[in-house]
Amino acid sequence: MHEMGMVLNIVREAEKQAQMYHVNKIASLTLEVGELTGAEPRYIRNCWPAATENTILDGAELIIKEVEGLVTCNDCKFVYRVLEHMTSDLRPDCPKCHSEKWTLKQGRQLMIDEIGVIDEQGDQ
Ligand SMILES: [Zn+2]
């Protein structure tokens, strides 16, 4: 299980961004999780409370946006969901032309999409 390391990286990244924008409390964090990262959203959620304890993210809501793993066929340019179209030895297999040449389009990212902040100096 490597989710804990991933979550700790996200926490550090969020702290850096918060510092940059002089934010001292984060209300929510939206995380893009690509299905090709191998990270399980439910494990990420399990790690979240411990990973954020005593950080700027303590108590912040975690919102996970799952991103499908998509590749583009190099031969016919068809875009398909790679986990649904694999050869028996787990290589991408284009459903249109059965080419095994492909380029990753999305799905390997694990990154912060949005940070929701509480403006403590603001008078609403
Ligand atoms: Zn193709």
Domain 3-117 has CATH 3.30.2320.80: yes
- Rounded to an integer, the average pLDDT of 90-100 is 95
- Predicted TM-score of the model (pTM): 0.84
Q: Which of 116, 113, 104 is nearest to 35 (CA)?
A: 104
Question: Which protein residues have a CB closer than 5 Å to ligand 1 (ion)?
Answer: 73, 75-76, 78, 94, 96-97, 99
**Residues of 32-59 as b/e, b for ≥16 C-beta within 10 angstroms?**
bbbbbbebeeeebeebbeebbeebbbee
Q: Determine the pLDDT at residue 124.
A: 47
74 touches 102 (CB < 8 A): yes
Q: Say if residue 121's pLDDT is above 80.
A: no
Q: How far is the CA of 95 from the centre of ligand 1 (A)?
A: 7
How do residues 6-44 score in pLDDT, each as one tens digit? 999 999 999 999 999 999 889 999 999 999 998 999 999
